[in-house]
Amino acid sequence: MLEALIAGTQSPAAMAELAKGRMRGKRPQLAEALTGSFTAHQRFLVARQLAHIDHLDVLVGEISDEITQRLRLADDAAVAPAATGTTGAAVVPVDAAAPGPPLTARVPEAATVVPRPHAAAIARRAGGQNAPP
């Protein structure tokens, strides 16, 4: 609905038709709530806010990927044979000494480590295959 407002849609009924899920049953109330003016200034500000959210989603994805990579590296170090240092003592990664399963088994999948609440919206805007109905 915000994207339709930004695009200049003025009809409250047309806006209410964009409702999804449980909100579809509340279209008359939505149309009433959407009655009013939405100025060019408001369109500009909302567009900037949505762009900011999209940018933050990209950053969250990059951070999530980095966490996944580092967890894999930590798991690889935990199961690799201990290297021998110059003093002859075994150099053992700290996490290798920790009891229990490898790190990735203790931490949920990367997609749930850092939630991506707006990923579906991004996919819809991009016409992605994984966009929810």
SS3 letters for 86-119?
Answer: CCCCEECCHHHHCCCCCHHHHCCCHHHHCCCCCH
pLDDT at 119 over 50: yes
Determine the Cα–Cα distance for residues 76 and 97; give it in Å rounded to an integer: 13
CB 100 within 8 A of CB 115: no
CB 89 within 8 A of CB 95: no
Q: What are the residue ranges spanned by the domains of the chain?
A: 60-133
Decide: helix, strand or coil at residue 42.
Answer: helix
For 32-69, write each residue's pLDDT tens digit: 999 988 899 999 999 999 999 999 999 999 999 999 99
> Closest Cα to residue 125, out of 16, 12, 7?
7
Decide: helix, strand or coil at residue 10.
Answer: coil
Determine the Cα–Cα distance for residues 60 and 130; give it in Å rounded to an integer: 18
**Which of 28-42, 68-82, 100-114, 118-132 is least confident?**
100-114
Determine the Cα–Cα distance for residues 88 and 106; give it in Å rounded to an integer: 32
Compute φ and ψ for 84, nearest 5 degrees.
-95, 125
Query: Quick one: pLDDT at residue 88?
Result: 45
pLDDT at 128 over 60: no
